[in-house]
Amino acid sequence: MLFTHNGVSGPVILSASRHITHSSRQTLTIDLKPRLSESELDNRILRDFAKYMNKSFKNCLDDLLPRTLISVIVRLVGIDPERKVHDITKIERKALVKRLKNLELNIIGTAGFDEAVITRGGVCIDEIDPSTMESKLVRGLYFAGEVLDLDAYTGGFNLQIAFATGYLAAHSVVR
């Protein structure tokens, strides 16, 4: 998953996007430290807090998070960024742990058709002869790739659909 200037992207987001509906409010929950349990993460933060005890909160997370994410997390946790680490309470530290393990992002939409990597919808496959890719409604009309109402998770599956149906349609036209 990639954090971009206007949202999130990457293979996991592309796969998840096929389940996003625009009719209801949806939330994406991200575990920023999936290899650590809450207890292990709390211990990790305690070590970092001990190491940076006289620094301000905004400057003690460099070992834990990418620099560009620190200001976002500091703001979401609600701890004064200038506050000294040794003044942060156990309750505030636990809130930091919870936020890192459960970062919630409200989904407000997709980037739209102009930036789409995969599309959904198209010619109904029930109207196509699967052995030739020829239309059952219009003889001599062949379909392939993303013009079809076929889509799959990211990982080369959509490319495979495009290549296989294109190959089949081309060979059927040549016959």
Domains along the chain with CATH numbers: 2-107 (1.10.8.50), 118-174 (no CATH)
Q: Per-residue confidence at 114, pLDDT binned at 50, 70, 90?
A: confident
Q: Enumerate the β-bridge partners of residue 29.
A: 104
Q: Per-residue confidence at 9, pLDDT binned at 50, 70, 90?
A: confident
Residues 94-116, buried b or exposed e (16+ Cβ, 10 A)? ebbbebbbebeeebeeeeeeeee
Residue labelled with tokens 């292990």: 40
Could you tell me which residues come within 8 angstroms of residue 35 by beta carbon, excluding any fewer than 6 positions away? none
Handedness of CA 113, 117, 120, 123 (dihedral sign): positive
Say whether pLDDT at 28 is over 70.
yes
Residues 3-23, buried b or exposed e (16+ Cβ, 10 A)? eeeeeebeeebbebbeeeeee
Write out pLDDT tens, residues 51-63. Answer: 999 999 999 999 9
Say whether pLDDT at 157 is over 90.
no
Q: Tell me, what DSSP letter sits at residue 18?
A: T
- At 21 the pLDDT is 66
Could you tell me which residues come within 8 angstroms of residue 72 by beta carbon, excluding any fewer than 6 positions away? none
d(CA 128, CA 143): 8
Could you tell me which residues come within 8 angstroms of residue 153 by beta carbon, excluding any fewer than 6 positions away? 15, 18
Write out pLDDT tens, residues 80-97. Answer: 999 999 999 999 999 999
Mean pLDDT of all residues belonging to the chain:
89
Using only the alpha carbons of the chain, give its radius of gyration.
24
What global pTM score does this model have? 0.68
